[in-house]
Amino acid sequence: MNCNIAVIKGDGIGPEVVSEAMKVLDAIGAKYGHTFNYEQLLMGGCSIDVHGVPLTDEAVERAKAADAVLLGSIGGNTSTSPWYKLPPEKRPEAGLLKIRKELGLFANLRPAFLYNELKGACPLKEEIADKGFDMMIMRELTGGLYFGARETKEVDGVMTAVDTLTYNENEIRRIAIKGFDIAMKRRKKVTSVDKANVLDSSRLWRKIVEEVAKDYPEVTYEHMLVDNCAMQLVKDPAQFDVVLTENMFGDILSDEASMITGSIGMLASASLNETKFGMYEPSGGSAPDIAGQNKANPIATILSAAMMLRYTFDMDKEADAIEAAVQQVLVENYRTCDIVSEGTELVSCSQMGDLIATRV
């Protein structure tokens, strides 16, 4: 198969980790007879430096023309980087929000999985970590608070800021359908997370999720309030399979879920639209403190490339091969600095990429 991938390496550790993912993809290509063509695009701080904006319309068009987008990370140190002196709509993050919206990437899949080999890095009590967990946070990505009208103005001499949280039933239905579809391929359980004891948008969310659930009699589902969910994630994460939630709750809960896996350098993500098109990126940030030092953990990006093979290109066995190779290097005790522990061998970002590429 011939695959056209738009590559956005971005800022911070983005370029190093994406290069390792490309290395692994090329190893897959050689083994299974596929060609991966890459077109590099700018987004984030690196685009601001060249074009004065975090994402040009031309880059959006090129991304749309590709089969999928592989993304590293964007943004820098928010207290010291000159990018953060710019108004919010010109900062690196605005590029990310824009590309999600322009590409219609409403469904964000963030798997959080505790590897046996990394149980020691899990910050939870041993008896909780021992049970393990394997969940998929499904976050609505193009609606809600992050895309509503916002404004800061003086009202009667008092500075006042407004952000708007809007969801319509169609936006809720399409993410709920994706959530239940994914649950059907997993352990058939959906936990829909909202704040229906306070918010109207959450009450509509609950109503629509209940309607969608009727079409999936095999899936068990429950509603959970977001504050309770935050607590349950550290108390009993094994209870979760698919966690279905709106944009801001998903942003927060997915960071919490990633933290309990021991390192956010391990977590992949996929952002999908209604078609096979998707944007694939590690869940972690740009880690400016270790950028350019060949120290970053490329596994999250490599696993994101595996998700790309699975969801965009229907290459299940190739995706399995990458996931198995990652597991293999962990079993062989190779670790980047974020997950190194006594008795394991410290390797650099590029060594980790080589190790995985030679095991696919």
Site for ligand IPM in 246-275 (CB under 6 A): 251
Active site residues per annotation: 146, 195, 227, 251, 255
**Torsions phi, psi for 145 (to 5 deg):** -60, -30
CB-nearer residue toward ligand IPM: 137 or 219:
137
Minimum distance, C-beta of residue 177 to ligand IPM, in the bound complex (Å): 22
Minimum distance, C-beta of residue 158 to Mg ion, in the bound complex (Å): 31
Question: Any idea which residue has 């509603």 for tokens?
Answer: 223
Dihedral angle sign, alpha carbons of residues 166, 168, 174, 176: positive
Question: Any idea which residue has 């058939």 for tokens?
Answer: 188
Could you say which of Mg ion, ligand IPM, none residue 16 binds, taking C-beta under 5 to 8 angstroms by partner kind?
none
Could you say which of ligand IPM, Mg ion, none residue 5 binds, taking C-beta under 5 to 8 angstroms by partner kind?
none
CB-nearer residue toward ligand IPM: 1 or 248:
248
Judged by phi (left if over 0) then psi (alpha if -120 to 50, else beta), residue 317 lies in: alpha
Could you say which of Mg ion, ligand IPM, none residue 96 binds, taking C-beta under 5 to 8 angstroms by partner kind?
ligand IPM
CA distances 216 to 46, 129, 191, Å, are 45, 31, 14
Q: How far apart are CA 66 and CA 116, in angstroms?
A: 36
What token pair was written down for 286? 């740009």
Question: Which listed range, 24-32, 80-88, 93-101, 319-327, lies at the site for ligand IPM (CB under 6 A)?
Answer: 93-101
Contacting residue, 5, 6, 25, 96, with ligand IPM by CB under 6 A: 96
93 binds ligand IPM (CB under 6 A): yes
Q: How far apart are CA 289 and CA 326, in angstroms?
A: 25
Site for ligand IPM in 173-202 (CB under 6 A): none
Calculate the dihedral angle through the C-alpha atoms of 333, 337, 339, 345, rounding to the nearest 10 degrees. 10
Q: Point out which residues bind Mg ion (CB under 5 A).
A: 251
Site residues (vs ligand IPM, CB under 6 A): 93, 96-97, 251
